[in-house]
A = this chain, B = another copy of it.
Amino acid sequence: MDDRWHALKPDEGQSTPLYLQLAQKLATAINAGWWRADEALPSERTVSEELGISRVTARKAFDVLIEQGLVRRRHGSGTFITPRTEQPMSRLTGFTELLRQRGFEPSSVWLERTIAVPTHEEVIKLGLSPSAQVVRLKRQRLADGVVMAIEQSTLPASYLPDPNAIGSSLYAHLDQLGHSVVRALQHIRAVNASEEIAALSGIRAGEALLLITRLGYTADNVLIELTDTWCRNDYYDFVAELKRWV
């Protein structure tokens, strides 16, 4: 550990809060495998003393990791790495990031990338003027060369003027344009694969698929992303961690 503390030290010049910087660095360290599953992180006191910050601040960084599901606290005992198999994905990540974390090599094949006239439903949901246009994106999503999902997104053209400029990650592109999606509501249903989806994803028509409908919001609470993702159930397993409020 000893030589690693400096990698966790906050950057003075930064404007981002200390606890977020620390949370970020700790998350990176965890994903890099500094600790094994079920191993304990250094204690809150140790971290705060070693980095020269207050315990409250160190603890707040730990809080972030806990909400992300990366670690769990055990009273009187320590803060422990959550085994990867138990990590819920209640964390908003694009497909690309998600798979990288799990050790796959993600890729995409574009099926459609056009500017079009929105449907009536899209006009209402996205709050568009009737004359506005939308960008329509359709992709095969691959992991290590195998099709895992078919994804179709619709965004207002005003937020994404040039659909051909998108690289492999829609979210990274939106970040660059200053229209990051920071919050999303996902509706998850089960559907039978249509002929079209089946052909695109390499399964038989009628097989059960997870259909995830995502509504993505910017920091200003504006809905800018409507995405349907048809996920092969043999590769995709959605995990949610729930807490109870008594």
Contact = CB atoms under 8 A, between A and B. Distances in A.
Contacts of A57: none
A90 B240 contact: yes
Nearest to A214: B242
Interface stretch (A5-13, A46-54, A116-124, A204-212): A204-212
Interface string A166-182: 00000000000000111
Given A190-B208, A190-B209, A233-B191, A184 B242 contact: yes
A238 B207 contact: no
Interface residues of A, number: 44
Interface string A87-114: 0101111000000000000000000000
B233 A91 contact: no
A82 to B, nearest CB: 11
Contact of A188 (B91, B92, B210, B221): B210
